Amino acid sequence: MSGWLITNARLLNEGRQTEGDLRIKRGRIEQIASQLKARSGETVVDAQGKYLMPGMIDDQVHFREPGLTRKGNIASESKAAVAGGITSYLEMPDTSPPTTTRLALADKFSRAAGRSTANYSFYLGASRDNLSEVKALEPLEACAVSVFMGSASANLSIEDPKLLGEIFRHAPGLVVAHCEDSTTVESNLSEARRRYANRIPASAHAEIHSREACLKASTLAVQLAQEHNTRLHLLKISTEDELALLTAGAMADKQITAEACVHHLYFIDADYEALGNLIKCNPAIKTGDDRGALRKALRDGRLDIIGSDHSPHLLREKSGNYDSAAAGLPLVQYALPIAWSLVAGRTLSPEALVEKLAHNPARRFQIRERGFIREGYCADLVLLDPRERTIVNRQPMISQCGWTPLAGRKLPARVAATWVNGNLVWRDGLLTGIVPGERLEFDRPA
């Protein structure tokens, strides 16, 4: 096969919507024009007016390998990702052991090679005792340094301002931060146990992982970034309160940027009544007013990127009482259809959504030759049908955990096809079995 020709598409790219054809050859976008003629050996796909867009670059996933592979692994979760329109992902360090050394980082890249259907990179996690590893990290060795400012497992949770200041000062590039103040969360949990005894309802999660906990940690992160002139990306903004810390407008030249996750943009606290611990996540899903404020902040540019925070757990780990239920949701398989609800609800234009899902992640992490539909760029593409619905059932689930909090819902678009490095990996509800994922490269100066 000498390549692909996609015809009659509506191309979404760089703030514009145009009609045309696109040619893929040797894994790259070779030509974008109108009325291209098929060459000998090319496979032609008639888009029939569907949207053709750059694939989503997910800036935050938890694929559970190594050590937690009963929940998921790089192979299984990357397959689910391409079904959801994700062509590249950045994976977090909270594995077992955690990715807090350069050796552990190299091990993850080794595990992904030849097994990841989507393109990949990994974070180096800051911990309470690995400042030397942070200092030794080369700028192009990882996608960024990840800091858990509370609400993380054991050694990854850091709240000491002095140590955080050293990490922010010495990190070689971008720092990403999950912000929840553990002291506040623990105090809220103690109060909930007093109030509810052993019957804490799932709806109390937003009171325990409260807006105050989020704001306190996010405020500290912003202060440290300003003090040390650190490039900071705030993950998982979940409250209206935190938006006051952020600057509206285009992302260019921002020192501090921020992400919102699809579940915080889709669910609200009223959904705890029906879904209970299935939507327990950190930070917690908050109120309808918070969701509305997050959506508004996407429009005015205070929020720059949309990610999934895909965090699979076995269904039995989400059952039982509040204290024993794990926090996290499996979301990559439906990431783009969920995000498209912002277009269907007229929160964002199709062009603006593509900016949040693809262009801005590529810009913020300085990912080389991806995230845009440009001649010469890697052919990481998604064909999306906005006229069809994704009807979510409990099965078939591609994520190894085998369940979704979206079961029974209808999402307002369908991923018709996904190409990674010019290889068709998903079409009409089926994986092709091709595993073409590559290690992402970055354009940062050495």
CATH number of the domain that 99 lies in?
3.20.20.140
Question: Which residues, 6+ apart, have CB-to-CB distance to 167 below 8 Å?
Answer: 126, 131, 134, 145, 147, 158, 175
Outline where DSSP puts E strands in 110-224: 119-122, 124-125, 145-149, 175-179
What is the distance between the alpha carbons of residues 332 and 341, in angstroms, rounded to a whole number?
15
Please tell me the predicted confidence (pLDDT) of residue 155: 80
Query: 277 lies in a domain?
Result: yes
Which of 309, 339, 364 is where one domain is finished?
A: 364
Outline where DSSP puts E strands in 110-262: 119-122, 124-125, 145-149, 175-179, 232-235, 256-261
Query: 164 lies in a domain?
Result: yes
Please tell me the predicted confidence (pLDDT) of residue 338: 98
Q: Are residues 298 and 156 in the same domain?
A: yes
Helices 182-196 and 211-228: crossing angle in degrees, nearest 10, is 170
Query: 165 lies in a domain?
Result: yes
Q: Are residues 32 and 136 in the same domain?
A: no
Nearest 10 degrees: Cα torsion 163, 206, 187, 314: -70
Q: Are residues 302 and 382 in the same domain?
A: no
Tell me which H or E stretch contains 218: helix 211-228
Question: CATH number for the domain including 31?
Answer: 2.30.40.10
Question: CB of 340 within 8 A of CB of 306?
Answer: no
What is the distance between the alpha carbons of residues 275 and 209, in angstroms, rounded to a whole number?
18
Give DSSP secondary structure letters for 28-87.
EEEEEESSPPPPTTEEEEE-TT-EEEEPEEEEEE---TTT-TTT--HHHHHHHHHHTTEE
Q: Are residues 201 and 292 in the same domain?
A: yes
Query: 341 lies in a domain?
Result: yes
Q: Are residues 426 and 387 in the same domain?
A: yes
Q: Are residues 27 and 131 in the same domain?
A: no
Tell me which H or E stretch contains 103: helix 102-112
CA distances from 218 to 175, 184, 325, 348 (A): 13, 13, 25, 25
Q: Are residues 231 and 308 in the same domain?
A: yes
Q: Are residues 338 and 284 in the same domain?
A: yes
Query: 68 lies in a domain?
Result: yes
Query: 405 lies in a domain?
Result: no
SS3 416: strand
Q: Are residues 324 and 384 in the same domain?
A: no
Tell me which H or E stretch contains 5: strand 3-13
Please tell me the predicted confidence (pLDDT) of residue 446: 41
Query: 108 lies in a domain?
Result: yes
Q: Tens of pLDDT along 1-53?
A: 579 999 999 999 999 999 999 999 999 999 999 999 999 999 999 999 999 99
Which of 340, 364, 388 is where one domain is finished?
A: 364
Joined tokens for residue 294 = 């997050």
Which of 121, 161, 224 is closest to 234 using CA atoms?
Answer: 224
Residue 391: domain span: 3-52+372-399+411-431
Joined tokens for residue 161 = 């301002």
Q: How many domains, in total, are found in the chain?
A: 2
What is the distance between the alpha carbons of residues 372 and 374, in angstroms, rounded to a whole number?
6
Model confidence, pTM: 0.97
Q: Are residues 334 and 267 in the same domain?
A: yes
* Tokens 């029974």, residue located: 408
* Tokens 């509506």, residue located: 10
403-404-408 Cα angle (round to 5): 110
Joined tokens for residue 317 = 């780990």
Residues of the chain where predicted confidence (pLDDT) is lower than 50: 446
The strand order across the sheet containing 86-91 reads 56-61, 86-91, 119-122
CA 80, chain centre distance (Å): 13
Q: Are residues 15 and 80 in the same domain?
A: no
Question: Which residues, 6+ apart, have CB-to-CB distance to 55 below 8 Å?
Answer: 85, 86, 87, 88, 118, 358, 380, 381, 382, 418, 419, 420
Radius of gyration of the chain from its Cα atoms, rounded to whole angstroms: 21
Query: 404 lies in a domain?
Result: no
Asked if omega into 445 is within 30° of 0 (cis), the reply is no
**In this structure, which amino acid lies at residue 10?**
R
**In this structure, which amino acid lies at residue 364?**
R
Helix, strand and coil percent figures for the chain, each rounded to 5: 35, 25, 45
Q: Are residues 66 and 213 in the same domain?
A: yes
What is the distance between the alpha carbons of residues 327 and 170, in angstroms, rounded to a whole number?
31
Sign of the C-alpha dihedral, residues 8, 12, 14, 15? positive
Q: Tens of pLDDT along 323-372?
A: 999 999 999 999 999 999 999 999 999 999 999 999 999 999 999 999 99
